[in-house]
Structure 1
Amino acid sequence: MASAEGEEQPTEVKTFQMERQARGEPAVKQNIITKSWEESKKMWEIAGPAILVSVSQFSIGFVTVAFAGHLGELQLAAVTMTTNVIEGFVFGIMLGMGSALETLCGQAVGAGQHNMLGIYLQRSWIITVITALCLMPCYLLATPILNLLRQDKHIAELAGKYCRMVIPQFFAYAINFPIQKFLQSQTKVWVMTTISVLSLGCHVLLNWALVTKLELGLLGAAMAGNISWWLQVIAMVIYVVSGFFPDSWTGLSLLAFKSLWGFVKLSLASAVMLCLELWYFTAIILMVGYLKDPTLAVDSISICMNLQLWTSMVTLGFNVAASVRVSNELGAGRPKVAKFSIVVTVLTSLAVGITFAAVLLATKHDFPKLFSDKPPVIKAASKLGYFLAATIFLNSILPVLHGVAVGAGWQAYVGLINIICYYLFGIPAGALLGFKFNLGVQGIWSGMLVGTVLQTTILLVLMLRATWRKEAVQAEERLRTWGGPNETPETLVESRSAD
């Protein structure tokens, strides 16, 4: 690709531009078109498989909620509380602790330090497994926690039972997230994609057999989830350690324990950034639980949030693409190329978000039927259609901006922005509209949109004003701090000069 850093253009591109100039057509325009096309291809090579993986893995929970919804309103509310409150709390921490790998592996690949990827993966596993052990009491004490948060006692009791059933899934997350980042940073994702899609198919069959045919209720739903998650995790571990990555996986090493504290600090910054994002939705669910008729309110918003989160899994593919492209290019010392990749990815994701929002508005009276056959629930969820469409539109941009932040190592800054936008503006606005002005679920969701609009605006301004050459220098400093034993700052500079 012809980069903005002055790299030599391919001969065919030069020839084509000369032909255009001979015809009196501007070469600059063709250069932009060529760059956009090449960048778009690179983006889709990452985003396409990442979308399939994220949609497949999220759909495991999506399918569970759908089957639980047809068991009854109480079961749907209990699974929703587990998914959005308990799992929402710990999921953010686990995913965040694993996301430090996204920054470091991506920048190491850009700098040609493949030898450190396996070490980074092992460090991340150590951190995520220890984190999982520390967070397990959240599952064991789910009922008292929900009671302390003044949730409906019947929902809290059943949710607590379900939480204890799905503890094995929680430990699968600890292994899964680091493997994903390891593979995505190298754009080696098609095997992972195949495994995820097959696991989803297995999950649907297991739910049909255990929940519908054997009538095991929530126990069957939990068993299906546990089996499906561990099948794909075991398959991906086998793929990583079986010799397919000779440069980046050289076996277990004691180097995984070296510089562990620095790795933990970046992991904590990633966890804070993602937790504040996911806990925002948890807070919305808790606020809805304080309304009159909490079961109906929680059911209606859970249907919409599950659809919103499902569409977010698609835009999460663009989040991954932005993170990998930015971290690779910053690690390789090409800041202008990183900046250009952001523009292409944001515009592509925005087009997808507009399409989703249009489809949702066209089916706003029908989509609740996927989760419930109760007329009151269907009617209440349909009323939220416009709010859901607006959220989907905004969330086609925001995840990409978060991916850029992870690729550049800005996790701490984004965490601070989350606090300001979500917790100082969004949640108070939702509480005011929902309770003071008696707008109920619609008022609470409106407050959530206020926080999302504010954060999107701030991140866009931040990225437009960023000095990307400075970010490339900081990427090199990270590699010097956590670099591999066979690479020195001098060799890094020489390799970049050769490029």
Structure 2
Amino acid sequence: MEGDLKKKLLGTKKASEEVEEEEELSLGKRLWNESKLMWIVAAPAIFTRFSTFGINVISQAFVGHIGSKELAAFALVFTVLIRFANGILLGMASALSTLCGQAYGAKEYGMMGVYLQRSWIVLFLTSLLLLPVFFFTSPILILLGQEESIAQVAGTISLWSIPVMFAFIVSFTCQTFLQSQSKNTIIAFLAVLSLSIHLVLSWLLTIKYEFGIAGAMTSTSLAYWIPNIGQLLFVAYCCPVTWNGFSFLAFKDLWPVVKLSLSSGIMMCLELWYNTILVLLTGNMKNAEVEIDALSICLNINGWEMMISLGFMAAASVRVANELGKGSAKAAKFSIYVTVLTSFTIGFLLFLFFLFFRERLAYIFSSNEDVAAAVGDLSPLLSVSILLNSVQPVLSGVAVGAGWQSTVAYVNIGCYYIIGIPVGIVLGKVIHWQVKGIWIGMLIGTLIQTIVLTIITYKTDWDEQVNIARARISKWSKVDSTDQETETKVIR
């Protein structure tokens, strides 16, 4: 016991000395070091998100070869049902980013594996609660006014999608666990492997052997589970410091994890569902078909660009959490400046690109001149949206790293749902600006949210955040070596 105490004190002293050495470096050297640490997390995260996004694009393309009814049903399930489950589980998994990131920075490696297992338990129980939605998809869609034939096919696809939902549990948590240690390069390699296998399997099962929906969904499920198996093996055999095997400690003190996970889930869901509401509000507009086609093209481009933003969001959460756990308030602030500036620079270049090309981009997706003209009309809004997306997700990542999820959830409710959507409805339906009005209203909500988060981040006492992080780590790491030996069962 005394030896462990001395070891911890020496570790704390060494960490403080490292912090002092880093702060004495020149600005250029600090900028270079921070950029390297940021890109180690951001680059694989961006690449992985592009690959995951690509899985759905490939699946949708092959389902389209089965039939138009199947394509419509697949789009319904994946844009509404899977996005719904994705938002909840991804948000709840982001609580692990706070815990593991701060623990890793504080060199409390022993509890990281326990945090991972606690997150598995919480997300698994949440997935069980979501199952009825998958079982009763057909009647729910019919009740919402969807055509019965499409709803029936959607019901079949939703049952095949259950393994995809459970894959999110392992995927989101393992990625967060590895990102906290800056070991996420393996995730990018596994994503490429999965995408390649998915492309070949989709062709074999849907085109060559004509297994229809069953073939397409089997390939999709495997595409999500193949990286998971690789990640689990990597965690078990390549993370000896942070993974000590399965432990009964995972079932203790679950309520604090549940509370943090719930606030994280609410925060993330409020953001991810915001754009979905934009699509729903355009359904009964004049010339709705052209408007929705144009909007879907813009949102498709925006969706791809969001993969970059989410990569920087992951980097921000990891870097802030690591530095707070390490005890360096100045380094945490500096990491925020570097990440926001880098993301904003990329966003500004994309802003100029899409503002310049306008309707010419539409011809990549459609040959319809009316749709192209509508896309050109919406391009300024798309460009502004991309610019805002280069800052707002990064600030959300800062909130995750610091553990402010509940605060950001309240900010999101106010800015998005009390201001953004009502203003959009007034501009779109009362003033008759159509889809442009709705989008402008929602951009106003995003702008206000970005300003509020910027003010909160700027006004934050980061020395106090270090103390909060230390208190959290100390409270949740009250396990000595004797407890570890008696309560932990290792599976090798």
Question: TM-score with structure 2 length normalisation?
Answer: 0.87
Which residue of 306, 318, 323 corresponds with 2:317?
A: 323
Q: Does residue 335 in structure 1 map to residue 297 in structure 2? A: no
Tell me what 1:104 maps to: 99
- 1:19-55 CA-to-partner distances (Å, cap 9, x unmatched) read xxxxxxxxxxxx2222222211211122112211222
CA displacement at 1:250 relative to structure 2: 1.2
CA displacement at 1:385 relative to structure 2: 2.5
Q: Does residue 443 in structure 1 map to residue 441 in structure 2? A: no
Pairing 1:66-465 to 2, within 5 Å after superposition: 66-67=61-62, 77-150=72-145, 156-212=151-207, 219-241=214-236, 243-292=237-286, 297-368=291-362, 371=365, 380-465=374-459
> Is the alpha carbon distance of 1:444 and 1:4 closer, same or farther for their aligned partners in structure 2, counting shifts above 3 Å?
farther
Alpha-carbon contact 2:142-2:151 (below 8 Å) kept = yes
CA displacement at 1:161 relative to structure 2: 3.9
- 1:336-358 CA-to-partner distances (Å, cap 9, x unmatched) read 11011100100000111122233
CA displacement at 1:208 relative to structure 2: 3.9
Alpha-carbon contact 1:65-1:371 (below 8 Å) kept = no
Identical residues among aligned pairs (%): 44
Alpha-carbon contact 2:47-2:188 (below 8 Å) kept = yes
Alpha-carbon contact 2:22-2:30 (below 8 Å) kept = no
CA displacement at 1:383 relative to structure 2: 4.0
Name which of structure 1's ranges 301-310 and 370-379 shifts more when overlaid on structure 2: 370-379
Tell me what 2:41 maps to: 46
State the AA in 2 paired with 1:245.
Answer: C
State the AA in 1 paired with 2:337.
Answer: V
State the AA in 1 paired with 2:451.
Answer: T
CA displacement at 1:67 relative to structure 2: 4.9
> Is the alpha carbon distance of 1:106 and 1:122 closer, same or farther for their aligned partners in structure 2, counting shifts above 3 Å?
same
CA displacement at 1:239 relative to structure 2: 1.6
Name the count of aligned residue pairs. Answer: 468
State the AA in 1 paired with 2:21.
Answer: E
CA displacement at 1:87 relative to structure 2: 1.9
Q: Does residue 36 in structure 1 map to residue 31 in structure 2? A: yes
- 1:29-87 CA-to-partner distances (Å, cap 9, x unmatched) read xx222222221121112211221122212222233345556777765554443233222
SS at match of 1:95: helix
CA distance in 2, matches of 1:207, 1:280: 31
Tell me what 2:489 maps to: none
SS at match of 2:107: coil
SS at match of 1:384: helix
Pairing 1:47-66 to 2, within 5 Å after superposition: 47-66=42-61
Alpha-carbon contact 1:74-1:295 (below 8 Å) kept = no
CA displacement at 1:363 relative to structure 2: 4.4
CA distance in 2, matches of 1:266, 1:191: 28
CA distance in 2, matches of 1:389, 1:73: 32
State the AA in 1 paired with 2:135.
Answer: L
Alpha-carbon contact 1:69-1:371 (below 8 Å) kept = no
Alpha-carbon contact 1:152-1:289 (below 8 Å) kept = no
Tell me what 1:8 maps to: 21
> Is the alpha carbon distance of 1:10 and 1:138 closer, same or farther for their aligned partners in structure 2, counting shifts above 3 Å?
closer
- 1:421-446 CA-to-partner distances (Å, cap 9, x unmatched) read 11011111222222223333222222
> Is the alpha carbon distance of 1:309 and 1:131 closer, same or farther for their aligned partners in structure 2, counting shifts above 3 Å?
same
Gaps of 5+ in 1: 14-30, 489-499
Name which of structure 1's ranges 266-275 and 147-156 shifts more when overlaid on structure 2: 147-156
CA displacement at 1:212 relative to structure 2: 5.0
Alpha-carbon contact 2:19-2:328 (below 8 Å) kept = no
Gaps of 5+ in 2: 1-15, 483-492
CA distance in 2, matches of 1:479, 1:426: 37
SS at match of 1:35: helix
CA distance in 2, matches of 1:103, 1:224: 33
State the AA in 1 paired with 2:96.
Answer: L
> Is the alpha carbon distance of 1:309 and 1:402 closer, same or farther for their aligned partners in structure 2, counting shifts above 3 Å?
same
- 1:96-118 CA-to-partner distances (Å, cap 9, x unmatched) read 11111000000000111111111
CA distance in 2, matches of 1:381, 1:161: 34
Name which of structure 1's ranges 35-44 and 56-65 shifts more when overlaid on structure 2: 56-65
- 1:219-276 CA-to-partner distances (Å, cap 9, x unmatched) read 54433321211111112112211x2111111111100001111111111110010011
CA distance in 1, matches of 2:33, 2:49: 24
